[in-house]
Chain A
Amino acid sequence: MKSVLLATTLLTFGLGSAAMATTKAEVLTFYADIAQATYSDSLAAARTLQTAVQTLVSDPTGANLQAARAAWIAAREPYQQSEVFRFGNPIVDDWEGKVNSWPLDEGLIDYVDAAYGGPTDENDFAVLNVIANPSFALSGKTIDAELITPELLADTLHEADGIEANVATGYHAIEFLLWGQDLNGHGTGAGERPATDFARNETCTGGNCDRRAQYLMAATELLVRDLEWMAAQWRDGGQGRNAVTADEDAGIVAMLTGMGSLSYGELAGERMRLGLMLNDPEEEQDCFSDNTHNSHYFDGLGIRNVYLGSYTRPDGSVLSGASLADLVTETDPALDAEMQARLSQTMQALGAIKSEAEAGFAYDQMLERGNEKGEKLIMGGVNALVDQAKTIERVVTVLGLDNIAFEGSESLDNPDAVFQ
């Protein structure tokens, strides 16, 4: 027994010694490799979505609408895993609003239910409905929206009037066009937009079907273009790759910042705990499609990918290489074990939400007031993410990322930007 233990200890030590060969430069290069692969996969999935959307628009049958919805859900898988790159990398953070803004006042885009209400204190354009209005006034100017183009969406309509909830582009605008509003409240079921909303003859429902089709095509085209741009930033010589590899300590801090900020402030706070506290069925990120359980799950997986230096692509192939785990093991194996345990706990908790949702207990039902089982599930995820962030802070300490000049804090450099 003793000799087995000894052998195990030696083996562990041996592996630890091998890991000592890992350099920060290798870890950063592989981090950029995972980013490149994740964005390339997101791009490929968006192109598949675009093909499905084209089929839907040319032949708006129920089956083609279902196919487009399935392509959208598949496209979320790699994209959500890329969110871990957002907070540590300004190049991603500055761009992210084009593709993944949420929550949105969807009345900006298309018809909504009467219960949605009208313009709000916060947003004069909450019910603009550009699909029904080829011309409208915006901040004192008349806007010609006769043709709905990618440029109109990106340059004029997106964040119109400086309001973030005016989301005209990205995954959630497309999601709204494919599903429509989820009017089931805390009940089961997602949005139920009929395929005839895209019919270009007398069977058209919801009015302005040709403009709705134009909008959907333009938004999908824009998503593909934006992802093309981001995937290119992580190739050799790309800005994203150059930025993280230029200064090793700053690069490692960027990795950990992305992991910690997504875990704590964003996912645990803004996206999970807030919705639960408000008991609002629309406080779920993929509220039209009822796909929120997957979005949270793949966010969590992306965080783990970065720490372990391992990414499983949609085709099942695995990329793995030099990782933060190697660096931490070298300095403090116990902390690496703690970090890995916390990441596993998070995936278990997010996995529980996912499997319950897939079994029919939808995320918006979990948010309902007094729903103890739902609260327990969601808080399980929140608590695991908060614990995980605490351990990430310990990793920062143990890696001794000292002597880094204080720079790049947007909240200090550009306070106006923070709450806009």
Chain B
Amino acid sequence: MTRALLSLLLVLLPLRAVAGLPEIVRATVQQHVLVRVDGFAAAAADLAAVSASTCDPEDSGLREAYHTAFDAWIAMSHLRFGPTEVADRAFAIAFWPDSRGATPKALAALIAGDDAALTDPRAFRDVSVAARGLYALEYLLFDDALRQQGKDTTRCALMRAITYDVAANGAAIAADWHDDYAAKLIDPGADGPYQSDEEAAQELFKALGSGLQFTADARLGRPMGTFEKPRPNRAESRRSGRSLRNVTLSLTAARDLAEDLAAENRELVARLVSAFDAALMAARRLDDPTLANVMTPQGRIRVEALQTQVNKIRAIVAEDLGPQLGVAAGFNALDGD
């Protein structure tokens, strides 16, 4: 019954402007953000193309395209502001965690009703986000029960509707970044969403903090459950065996962003990199793709150790990187229940 409290706490030194802040923002947008949104747009387009050629869930090309697109999504999944939040694009690409079990229910309803939205991309955009995106696609490719529901042609149409929708959202996010959103961060001003370099830097800093928080609390914390009652079924994309892979990819992306943001301070960069390396090492040692070992006390302790490593990174980010940039943690979407 608890939540990320007081995430706002740590606040800045407003008078100590960082000399290179505009340069840090510019470099981060160009080297970190644009590369990732372009990468996802390309991988999602490829997935839609493969899906148009086959509906066989066992097809190795289709599964490979799914994994490639999922990898590319995880690499940018912390960039949850601006273009990803228009028209619920990010939720429609990645609806997870699903604590209400809405995805299998919504998919079953669409399949049973042979919904007209399956053959109309425009109408499909109005479908519940629980039945859209990569996590819904995972059910169609990997869940035995879902793969037997309804007619082959219906599931095939649904798969194509989902991959087309994901590709359209990926393309729209990348287009918005290139059209004007990158400029809004790089050249902040009174008429844009960011009024100063500090506010632009704060957005990127918040993305780093909330991305790490999501990995610690959701990707690792959800399957961990409590010591008495671990919850392996809550592991992210466990059906396609990606749970640990997502943790590793998200940490790798966060390390890249942290290095960009800390660029001016070599000592801080070194400390961040060493904390990330320790966490990535702990992840490699787990050797537990679906995090199913949380069921055993030994296995759970090892996942908890990894979570502790991630929380150490978060502490450095909050206590040292924030003040270095002169920005506050601010609010994020994970505040609340």
B-contacting residues of A (Cβ < 8 Å)?
A: 87-88, 90, 93-94, 96-97, 101, 103, 120-122, 159, 161-162, 164-165, 253-254, 256-257, 260-266, 269-270, 273, 277-280, 369-370, 389-390, 392-393, 396-398, 400-402, 404, 406-412, 414-420
A260-B331, A412-B311, A415-B307 known; A404-B11 Cβ under 8 A: yes
Complex CA distance for A247 and B13, rounded to whole angstroms: 19
- Across the interface, do A418 and B9 meet the contact criterion of CB distance under 8 Å? no
- Across the interface, do B221 and A419 meet the contact criterion of CB distance under 8 Å? yes
A-B contact pairs, 21 of them (CB 8 A): A88-B5, A121-B101, A161-B229, A162-B225, A253-B8, A261-B331, A264-B331, A264-B336, A270-B337, A280-B102, A280-B128, A392-B331, A393-B202, A398-B14, A401-B11, A402-B14, A404-B11, A410-B2, A411-B5, A415-B216, A418-B4
Give chain B nearest CB distance to A150 CB in angstroms: 19
Give chain B nearest CB distance to A209 CB in angstroms: 31
State whether the Cβ of B127 lies closer than 8 Å to any Cβ in chain A.
Answer: yes
Nearest-neighbor residue (CB-CB) of A120 within chain B? B101
Residues of A within 8 A of B97 (CB): 419
A260-B335, A406-B9 known; A159-B1 Cβ under 8 A: yes
State whether the Cβ of B328 lies closer than 8 Å to any Cβ in chain A.
Answer: yes
Q: Could you tell me the dominant secondary structure of chain A's interface residues?
A: helix
- Across the interface, do B1 and A101 meet the contact criterion of CB distance under 8 Å? yes
State whether the Cβ of B172 lies closer than 8 Å to any Cβ in chain A.
Answer: no
Complex CA distance for A417 and B1, rounded to whole angstroms: 7
**The one of B217, B315, B319, B333 that contacts A419, using a Cβ cutoff of 8 Å:** B217
Residues of B within 8 A of A404 (CB): 9-11
- Across the interface, do A261 and B7 meet the contact criterion of CB distance under 8 Å? yes
Complex CA distance for A262 and B330, rounded to whole angstroms: 13
- Across the interface, do A396 and B8 meet the contact criterion of CB distance under 8 Å? yes
- Across the interface, do B14 and A265 meet the contact criterion of CB distance under 8 Å? no
**The one of A164, A261, A370, A402 that contacts B336, using a Cβ cutoff of 8 Å:** A261
State whether the Cβ of B224 lies closer than 8 Å to any Cβ in chain A.
Answer: yes
Residues of A within 8 A of B99 (CB): 122, 165
A277-B128, A412-B314 known; A420-B328 Cβ under 8 A: no
- Across the interface, do B6 and A253 meet the contact criterion of CB distance under 8 Å? yes
State whether the Cβ of B180 lies closer than 8 Å to any Cβ in chain A.
Answer: no
- Across the interface, do A97 and B1 meet the contact criterion of CB distance under 8 Å? yes
- Across the interface, do B228 and A162 meet the contact criterion of CB distance under 8 Å? yes
Complex CA distance for A415 and B4, rounded to whole angstroms: 9
- Across the interface, do B2 and A414 meet the contact criterion of CB distance under 8 Å? yes
State whether the Cβ of B100 lies closer than 8 Å to any Cβ in chain A.
Answer: yes
Residues of A within 8 A of B12 (CB): 397, 402
Complex CA distance for A159 and B229, rounded to whole angstroms: 13
Contacting residues of chain B (296-337) with chain A, CB-CB under 8 angstroms: 307, 311, 314-315, 318-319, 328, 330-337
- Across the interface, do A278 and B129 meet the contact criterion of CB distance under 8 Å? yes
State whether the Cβ of B91 lies closer than 8 Å to any Cβ in chain A.
Answer: yes
Give chain B nearest CB distance to A116 CB in angstroms: 12
State whether the Cβ of B54 lies closer than 8 Å to any Cβ in chain A.
Answer: no
State whether the Cβ of B222 lies closer than 8 Å to any Cβ in chain A.
Answer: yes
Contacting residues of chain B (187-211) with chain A, CB-CB under 8 angstroms: 193, 198, 202
Task: Kindly supply a per-residue 1/0 record for chain B positions 220-237, scoring 1 wherever the CB is within 8 Å of any chain A CB and 0 otherwise.
Answer: 011011101100011000
Complex CA distance for A101 and B279, rounded to whole angstroms: 35
A253-B8, A278-B102 known; A393-B330 Cβ under 8 A: yes
A411-B213, A412-B311, A419-B218 known; A266-B335 Cβ under 8 A: yes
Residues of B within 8 A of A253 (CB): 6, 8-9, 11
Nearest-neighbor residue (CB-CB) of A369 within chain B? B126
Complex CA distance for A164 and B234, rounded to whole angstroms: 14
- Across the interface, do B228 and A411 meet the contact criterion of CB distance under 8 Å? no
Nearest-neighbor residue (CB-CB) of B209 within chain A? A411
- Across the interface, do B5 and A90 meet the contact criterion of CB distance under 8 Å? yes
- Across the interface, do A389 and B1 meet the contact criterion of CB distance under 8 Å? no
Nearest-neighbor residue (CB-CB) of A270 within chain B? B336
Residues of A within 8 A of B7 (CB): 257, 261, 409, 411
**The one of B8, B101, B226 that contacts A420, using a Cβ cutoff of 8 Å:** B226
Give chain B nearest CB distance to A324 CB in angstroms: 14
Complex CA distance for A398 and B193, rounded to whole angstroms: 18
Residues of A within 8 A of B198 (CB): 397
Residues of B within 8 A of A396 (CB): 8, 11, 328, 330
A369-B127, A410-B2, A418-B3 known; A266-B336 Cβ under 8 A: yes
Residues of A within 8 A of B337 (CB): 266, 270
- Across the interface, do A264 and B333 meet the contact criterion of CB distance under 8 Å? yes
Nearest-neighbor residue (CB-CB) of B323 within chain A? A402
- Across the interface, do A406 and B318 meet the contact criterion of CB distance under 8 Å? yes
- Across the interface, do A370 and B6 meet the contact criterion of CB distance under 8 Å? no
State whether the Cβ of B130 lies closer than 8 Å to any Cβ in chain A.
Answer: yes
Other than A411-B3, A411-B4, give 4 A-B pairs with Cβ distance below 8 A: A257-B7, A396-B11, A402-B12, A410-B2
**The one of B95, B234, B333 that contacts A269, using a Cβ cutoff of 8 Å:** B333
- Across the interface, do B335 and A261 meet the contact criterion of CB distance under 8 Å? yes
Return the 10 tightest CB-CB contacts between A and B, nearest first: A265-B335, A266-B336, A265-B336, A97-B1, A411-B4, A261-B335, A417-B2, A277-B129, A260-B331, A410-B5
Give chain B nearest CB distance to A241 CB in angstroms: 18
Residues of A within 8 A of B2 (CB): 93-94, 410, 414, 417-418, 420
Complex CA distance for A417 and B217, rounded to whole angstroms: 9
- Across the interface, do B14 and A397 meet the contact criterion of CB distance under 8 Å? yes
State whether the Cβ of B88 lies closer than 8 Å to any Cβ in chain A.
Answer: yes
A402-B14, A415-B311, A418-B2 known; A122-B102 Cβ under 8 A: no
Nearest-neighbor residue (CB-CB) of A90 within chain B? B5
Residues of B within 8 A of A164 (CB): 1
Contacting residues of chain B (116-131) with chain A, CB-CB under 8 angstroms: 123, 126-130
Residues of B within 8 A of A96 (CB): 1
A93-B2, A121-B101, A396-B328 known; A278-B333 Cβ under 8 A: no
Nearest-neighbor residue (CB-CB) of A400 within chain B? B14
Residues of B within 8 A of A392 (CB): 331
- Across the interface, do B4 and A279 meet the contact criterion of CB distance under 8 Å? no
